[in-house]
Amino acid sequence: MTTATTGSMTGSMTSAVTRAADNGRAIEYAIIRDRLRRGSRAGAEGPHPGVAERLIRVLAATAGLFLLGAWLQELLWVAIGAATVLSLGAGGR
């Protein structure tokens, strides 16, 4: 292959990639436009609007409290251990 042939192939590949990217953007735009149109309709969420979001919030808060509770318990033991070490060290002076 010559440099001219390679250059034209690279150019055609680049334009094919650009066309594919443009097609992908057009499809993505159409999907987003469709989802926004469906979301703006009244009653699109069904008979119980917001239940899924509320459930996610409750589960996230519960998991957060469990993690915080476990962390605070460990922190309490660290504080007790530090107080014990400090009190034993201070008694030796």
- Statement to judge: residues 37 and 59 lie in one domain: no
Rounded to two decimals, what is the model's pTM? Answer: 0.36
- Statement to judge: residues 39 and 18 lie in one domain: yes
Is residue 19 packed enough to be buried (19+ CB in 10 Å), middle (13-18) or exposed (0-12)?
exposed
- Statement to judge: residues 54 and 38 lie in one domain: no
More confident residue, 18 or 67: 67
Confidence class for position 92, pLDDT limits 50, 70, 90? low
| Tens-place pLDDT, residues 29-85 | 888 888 888 876 645 556 677 888 889 999 999 999 888 888 888 888 999 999 999
Give me the number of domains the chain comprises.
Answer: 2
- Statement to judge: residues 54 and 93 lie in one domain: yes
Task: Note the pLDDT of residue 33.
Answer: 87
- Statement to judge: residues 30 and 67 lie in one domain: no
Residue 65 lies in domain: 50-93
- Statement to judge: residues 72 and 88 lie in one domain: yes
- 2 — alpha (psi -120 to 50), left (phi > 0) or beta? beta
- Statement to judge: residues 39 and 73 lie in one domain: no
Confidence class for position 8, pLDDT limits 50, 70, 90? low
- Statement to judge: residues 35 and 63 lie in one domain: no
- Statement to judge: residues 90 and 63 lie in one domain: yes
